């Protein structure tokens, strides 16, 4: 069974631009979560989607948004990029929210110049 896939793997943007990242969960998984990972902060939870609905949201500004499609694929968008948004963005999927193990994708490395 194919794992979680994320595209693109690497991205370079400049301040003020916006970016869209994509995540395809493991087949059959309907829950998708997004995390930001930086050296100093570790993994910080962004949001979680299940059945096209946002279930949880972390403490990030409104510039960070996401959505989920009927096939469970998910996208996250960051508008008006700032230097501090440079990070590894990880997507994780599970069958459903609750007492379920999350499986991570390889991440998208975003560099904001």
Partner 1 sequence: EDQVTQSPEALRLQEGESSSLNCSYTVSGLRGLFWYRQDPGKGPEFLFTLYSAGEEKEKERLKATLTKKESFLHITAPKPEDSATYLCAVQAGTGNQFYFGTGTSLTVIP
The dihedral formed by the CA atoms of 70, 90, 19 and 56, expressed in degrees to the nearest 10: 60
Of 14-22, 70-78, 79-87, 98-106, the segment contacting partner 1 by CB under 8 A is 98-106
**Distance (Å, rounded) from C-alpha 62 to C-alpha 36?**
15
| Smallest separation, CB 111 to partner 1 (Å) | 13
| Smallest separation, CB 12 to partner 1 (Å) | 16
Residues 39-78 that bind partner 1 (CB under 8 A): 41-45, 48, 55-56, 58
**Distance (Å, rounded) from C-alpha 37 to C-alpha 65?**
16
Angle 8-71-37 from CA coordinates, rounded to 5°:
40
Contact 90, 104 (CB under 8 A): yes
Measured from the CB atom, the residue of 60 and 79 that comes closer to partner 1 is 60
Structure tokens at 9: 């793997």
Measured from the CB atom, the residue of 16 and 89 that comes closer to partner 1 is 89
Count of residues that bind partner 1 according to CB under 8 A: 24
Of 12-20, 62-70, 79-87, 105-113, the segment contacting partner 1 by CB under 8 A is 105-113
């Amino acid at each position: 069974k194919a794992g979680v896939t994320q595209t693109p793997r690497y991205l370079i943007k400049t301040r003020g631009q916006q970016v869209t990242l994509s995540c395809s969960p493991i087949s059959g998984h309907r829950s998708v979560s997004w995390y930001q990972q930086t050296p100093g902060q570790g993994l910080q939870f962004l949001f979680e989607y299940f059945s096209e609905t946002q279930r949880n949201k972390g403490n990030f500004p409104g510039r960070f948004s996401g959505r989920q499609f009927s096939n469970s694929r998910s996208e996250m968008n960051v508008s008006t990029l700032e230097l501090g948004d440079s990070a590894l963005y990880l997507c994780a999927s599970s069958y459903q929210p609750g007492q379920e193990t999350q499986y991570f994708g390889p991440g998208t490395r975003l560099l904001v110049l």
